[in-house]
Amino acid sequence: MNMTRRICLAMAFTSLAAWTPATLAEETWDIDATYPLTDPDPCHTEGSYDRTIVKGNVMVSKYSSMQTEDIGLVVFERDSEGTWSQTAFLEVPGTSSESYLIYDLTVSDSNPDNDRIVVSAAWSSSVGVHVYERGSDGIFTYYQELDDPDNTSGGFGANVAIDNRLIVVGNPEYPNNDRGSVHVFRRKSSNDWVHIKTWNGQNNHDQIGDEVGVHGNTVVYQTERSSSDGGTNRCYLRYRNSNTDWTLIQSIYGDDLGISSFTEGGVIGDVLMILGYNENDPDFEELAFMGLFQEDGTVGEMHNINVRPEDEPAMYSRGFVSAGNEVLVMRQPEWLGAGGDDPVVDRWNLFADAEPEFGGEILFPNARPEGHRMGYDGSSIFSFNQCELQRFGAFTANECDLPLEEAPCNADVNDSGMVNVDDLLAIIQDWGMVGEGGKRPAGDCAPLPLGDCMVNVDDLLSVIASWGSTCDEPGT
């Protein structure tokens, strides 16, 4: 099986022309809070993490350490005051520190008892697929193992997805000649998860089940045949009318998108994201598509987005998260080695019947999240690093740490272009004020170069010393 994760997700219409905004708004984000891992104890600082999933007030990520041989899922939950804390470390039967865990999370807005986690270990025949649900104490605990309907020796659980009462499990290695299979399980009123549906690949080496997704009652899967071996990537959306009645509501070929190979993507909240490239493109430029699920279970128009200057290499890759109709895409991860070391996140807003709206760039000049491991809840980005959960938010510099304008323009308090009586009156009006919350009082203009973040005699003397002076550019 190809280790590169490929996801093909269907859509009704495709906009193949890249849409590029005229201007790029920028925000600077930094760590604004950290929360410790308390389990396993001790936590090894060189432990590794993987994809962080945030849904509602629940967050899950993988933690493993070859030094301590710990591996499992760390679960964090947010309390009513907005503070995150670890509530569980879920060990997965049959795993080792080298296992590659695949997992997904579903939460209920109205009933936390319906919060569930499904996990497997890709490329491991000994792990199986396991479900975790809340116990009587409200803490996530082991619930059930899902049996392989094909009873194969490997491949079952190569990918998993969950939404509410549906779990989708892929096995791209079975049946014969790697046709692949996709299985659907549903939680019955008896509280057991039972198998209700299977689809098998139609051709040799289709390898369906390598990537799967689910949104409501819509199950998504793909074939893995590429144009280089005479096949094509095909995407299926099947809708559940009942446990035994399913409708193929969409079937899209990679050729319809101008993509010969899919490299990344996912069902992320209400959004589909697809990354891929065309083997015939001499620049080998990576393309990024995204769109919204519709009420009927289909996917609306998919947009090919590109905000890179034409003279820069393609840099969309791996990291993408969503909340509502907003999508964040990691454009410049460190490991890619293109365009510098600092990652850049692009913000997009999707609409059912309009072009996507570009929300600007998020820069990380200091600490930075891991692109393919970050999570997002609509206001903050989350990433695990060295035994702690890091929360990133918009960073606003303390104005009192920034330099004042050079003399005499520092004394032009009201930005009129001239130091006169109006500036003197502004000083008197703000007399005695002290900066709070990173804001500098308007009358703080001295001493140079930084001021003192308060309005006092130094500011009054500065205005008098510069009396009658002019500034070439008012307000600068």
Supply the CATH number for residue 106's domain: 2.130.10
CA atoms within 13 A on the CB side of 461: 7
pLDDT of 195 reads 97
How many Å apart are CA 111 and CA 98, to the nearest integer? 35
Over residues 323-368, the pLDDT tens digits come to 988 988 877 544 444 444 567 888 889 887 788 888 888 888 888 8
- Count of domains in the chain? 2
The answer to whether residue 395 is domain-embedded is no
The answer to whether residue 345 is domain-embedded is no
How many Å apart are CA 282 and CA 323, to the nearest integer? 35
Strands (E), 293-325: 302-305, 320-323
Sheet holding 344-351, edge to edge: 320-323, 326-330, 344-351, 354-363, 26-36, 388-394, 381-385, 375-376
pLDDT of 403 reads 87
The answer on 284 and 416 residing in a single domain is: no
How many Å apart are CA 380 and CA 371, to the nearest integer? 14
Q: Which of 347, 300, 298 is nearest to 321 (CA)?
A: 347
pLDDT of 282 reads 67
Alpha-helix runs per DSSP H in 69-177: none
Residue 220, classified by CB atoms within 10 Å of its CB into exposed (0-12), middle (13-18) or buried (19+), is buried
Q: pLDDT band at 12, cuts 50/70/90?
A: very low
Q: Which of 346, 375, 370, 378 is nearest to 359 (CA)?
A: 346
Over residues 165-213, the pLDDT tens digits come to 999 999 988 877 888 999 999 999 888 999 999 999 888 888 888 889 9
The answer to whether residue 17 is domain-embedded is no
Question: What whole-number percentage of the chain has pLDDT above 90?
Answer: 44
pLDDT of 252 reads 78
Q: Which residues of 319-341 are buried (b: 16+ CB within 10 A; e: fewer)?
A: bbbbbebbbbbbbbbeebeeeee
In angstroms, the first-to-last Cα distance of the chain is 60
The answer to whether residue 458 is domain-embedded is yes
Classify the phi-psi angles of 161: left when phi > 0, otherwise alpha if psi is within -120 to 50, otherwise beta: beta
Q: Which residues contact 306 (CB under 8 A, 6 or more apart)?
A: 18, 19, 20, 287, 288, 316
Over residues 380-389, the pLDDT tens digits come to 999 998 899 9
Q: How far is CA 428 from CA 242, 244, 266, 422, 456, in A?
A: 75, 79, 59, 10, 9
The answer on 430 and 298 residing in a single domain is: no
pTM of the entire predicted model = 0.78
Are the C-beta atoms of residues 380 and 391 closer than 8 Å to each other? yes
pLDDT of 339 reads 44
Q: pLDDT band at 476, cuts 50/70/90?
A: very low
As a whole number, mean pLDDT of residues 285-306 equals 83
How many Å apart are CA 270 and CA 179, to the nearest integer? 29
Asked, as a colleague might, if the bond just before 408 is cis with ω within 30 of 0, I would say: yes
Residue 335: helix, strand or coil by DSSP?
helix
Q: pLDDT band at 13, cuts 50/70/90?
A: very low
The mean pLDDT value of the chain amounts to 82
Domain end among 336, 357, 390: 390
How many Å apart are CA 339 and CA 143, to the nearest integer? 46
The answer to whether residue 62 is domain-embedded is yes
Q: Which of 345, 375, 343 is nearest to 358 (CA)?
A: 345
The answer on 172 and 283 residing in a single domain is: yes
Q: Which of 350, 338, 232 is nearest to 285 (CA)?
A: 338
Domain end among 341, 361, 390: 390
Are the C-beta atoms of residues 55 and 105 closer than 8 Å to each other? yes
The answer on 410 and 276 residing in a single domain is: no
Residue scoring higher pLDDT (396 or 389): 389
The answer to whether residue 280 is domain-embedded is yes
The answer on 280 and 429 residing in a single domain is: no
Query: How many residues are present in the chain?
Result: 476
Helix (H) or strand (E) holding 261: strand 261-268
Domain end among 340, 369, 390: 390
Residue scoring higher pLDDT (284 or 171): 171
The answer on 297 and 414 residing in a single domain is: no
pLDDT of 242 reads 96
Tell me phi and psi for residue 472, to 5 degrees. -65, -35
Domain coverage including residue 443: 400-465
Alpha-helix runs per DSSP H in 333-446: 421-429
How many Å apart are CA 37 and CA 370, to the nearest integer? 17
As a whole number, mean pLDDT of residues 270-294 equals 78
The answer to whether residue 364 is domain-embedded is no
pLDDT of 86 reads 97
The answer to whether residue 321 is domain-embedded is no
Asked, as a colleague might, if the bond just before 449 is cis with ω within 30 of 0, I would say: yes
Percent helix, strand, coil in the chain, to 5, is 10, 40, 50
